[in-house]
Structure 1
Amino acid sequence: MQASIFTEILLPLALAFVMFGMGLTLTVADFTRLLKAPKPIVVGLVGQTVLLPLLAFGLCLAFSLHPAMAIGIMILSACPGGTMSNLISHIGRANLALSVSLTALSTFICVFSTPFIIHYSMDYFAGENAPSFSIVTTVVGLVCVSIVPVIIGMAIRHFKPAFSIKVEGFFRTFSLWFMIAMIVGILISERANLMASLEEALLVCLALNISAVVLGLILAFAFKLSKIDGITLSIEVGVQNAALAMLICITFLNSPEFAVAAGVYGLTMYAGPGLLAVWSKRLKNTTKSDGKDKPLATQKA
């Protein structure tokens, strides 16, 4: 997939449109929650921006992935959570406020942390064969396609709340179809690479997803967070912004073969969180019946 109007202009604009839609759902209160209840947010951010990339790196070594797949997995793990994690949290009756806060804050943090993880990953796995890469250019690009649209969306939400709420459903639907279209496009354009490594890609993506979900539960248990917060963390750590990962591979790195991992993960990343969402619904009913929400660390196996 060579550089074209699609990869250089239309694809970034479409993702910026998705991020603008996410901004329409955010308020200043989503960020000030950090001051009111910092522990679950801090734990979640550490899990998503630090521990998840380390987990992905360990899996790349354990599976002895070839460079393109390993770099793709690392790029995926370095991306923030996506709007789909908020939707799953909503469906599963998890802590939606925590989910939204983690998605928003991780988006801001990952704009600056992701380029360094990409740089290290390409040096480690590809060495001299790594494509040309500029940390500064990538940071600027990520700011333009994520931070700026989110801020514009938040400003409109602040001044035009009724309009923002009215169009929220449209942007959520657009995000879903945009993700599907990107996954289909990548899998078709890179079908040769996919067929050569389909089993490897599926195994490592499923392993990463399940491990990330378990990581969220372990963090909640270790820091004595509530059951609902633990499920929320698992969803946030397990669901990544695969669309952003594919954009980075295709547009910023001009290496669509790296995007195969994100495309496959986009299909598999709902397995673990989906099961958690179902469990969360049942858990919510139990919580209502006993009138309280105990920390995960106090639950019996």
Structure 2
Amino acid sequence: MKRICNFIARWMGALVLVVAAVALLVPQSLNWMSTYTINPMLGVIMFGMGLTLSPADFRIVLSRPKDILLGCLAQFTVMPLLAFLISWALQLPNELALGVILVGCCPGGTASNVITYLAKGDLALSVGMTACSTLLAPVLTPLLVWLMAGTMVNVDTIGMLTSIIYVVIAPIVAGLLCQRFMPRATRSVTPYLPALSSVVIALVVGIIVSHNASRLLLGGAIVVAAVVLHNLLGLSVGYAIGRLLRLPHPKRVALSIEVGMQNSGLASSLAVLHFAAYPLATIPGAIFSVWHNISGALAAKLYGR
């Protein structure tokens, strides 16, 4: 069983790509599942993250505040600004621009820690940045979306803050409590969590793609271009910042991957919950979920050399 789980986790990018392709070409395979199931699924992923975090991970934040602060500052400035500039440069319609901006304003994705490990980057820094940006997200994500997209659409900042708390923060806290009071049970399930997260992420992407298949087939090229550009620029700028500050290579790698890989599932979830009047806003998050796993795997091989 562990061997199967390791295989699934290792090929997460391929799994997400296959599920997305099936959902696009055969929408009825997954569109029977409501988009409202996305939140509980994201909660499962965040709960798993809480089970794998330890007090040592939070001590990293306290012992290396300069590195963590730099990373979070880059996370919440580079990606939102890139999202806004790309949306403007490509003249995206408001709905799609909103989706790209939502992705840019979200915290780092949990997959970034796995990619950083494979890329031989500074894993402790990556985990610390993910934890810190996730804790800051309930305040910074709604605020940044309002600043970047408030003139395009009506942004419910309080509603978004509440959503992030119960979709992201509450499950992580529940996972930490389980780890604290049920350590033996937690240790027994931890080896299977990467595979479970991979399957759940693939399902989330599949559900979003299946519900928007016709729109993707009609005008998907420009969205794909925006998402790929956003991700690649994020990876590049993150590494360039580390190089400019003369950080050692492992730290540059961690910074690059943390900046470039977003919690795009959360972006799609927020689009479903708070921007139902703009259905196209869910699409950039779905495409980003597929693409950043592919680019992350390629970056891991490149940086690992």
Shared fold (TM-score greater than 0.5)?
Answer: yes
Q: Distance in 1 between matches of 2:182 and 2:116?
A: 25
1:52/1:212 contact within 8 Å kept: yes
1:102 matched to which residue of 2?
129
Flag the structure with more relative contact order, 1 or 2, with Cα contacts below 8 A and sequence separation at least 6: 2
- Identity level (%): 27
Gaps spanning 5+ residues in structure 1: where?
283-301
1:80 is paired with a residue whose SS is coil
Q: Compute the TM-score of the two structures, normalised by the length of structure 2.
A: 0.83
Residue 277 (str. 1) matches residue 300 (str. 2): yes
2:102 matched to which residue of 1?
75
1:184 matched to which residue of 2?
206
Q: Compute the TM-score of the two structures, normalised by the length of structure 1.
A: 0.84
Can you list the C-alpha shifts for 1:74-105, whole angstroms capped at 9, x where unaligned? 00111111211111122222222111111111
How do 1:190-269 residues align onto structure 2 when only pairs under 5 Å count? 190-254=212-276, 255-269=278-292
Residue 40 (str. 1) matches residue 67 (str. 2): yes
Larger-Rg structure? 1
Q: Distance in 2 between matches of 1:190 and 1:7?
A: 11
Report the aligned-residue RMSD: 2.0
2:193 is paired with a residue whose SS is helix
1:43/1:219 contact within 8 Å kept: no
2:127 is paired with a residue whose SS is helix
1:116 matched to which residue of 2?
143
Q: Distance in 2 between matches of 1:223 and 1:34?
A: 19
Amino acid at match of 2:285: A
Give 2:192's match in structure 1, choosing from 170, 181, 191. 170
Q: Distance in 2 between matches of 1:159 and 1:257?
A: 43
2:61/2:132 contact within 8 Å kept: no
Q: Distance in 2 between matches of 1:247 and 1:83?
A: 16
1:30 matched to which residue of 2?
57
Can you list the C-alpha shifts for 1:9-49, whole angstroms capped at 9, x where unaligned? x3322211111110111112212212322232121111111
1:296 matched to which residue of 2?
none
1:7/1:251 contact within 8 Å kept: no
Instruction: Give the total of aligned pairs.
Output: 273
1:27/1:158 contact within 8 Å kept: no
Give 1:90's match in structure 2, choosing from 113, 117, 128. 117
Amino acid at match of 2:82: L
- Stretch of structure 1 that moved more, 89-98 or 67-76: 89-98
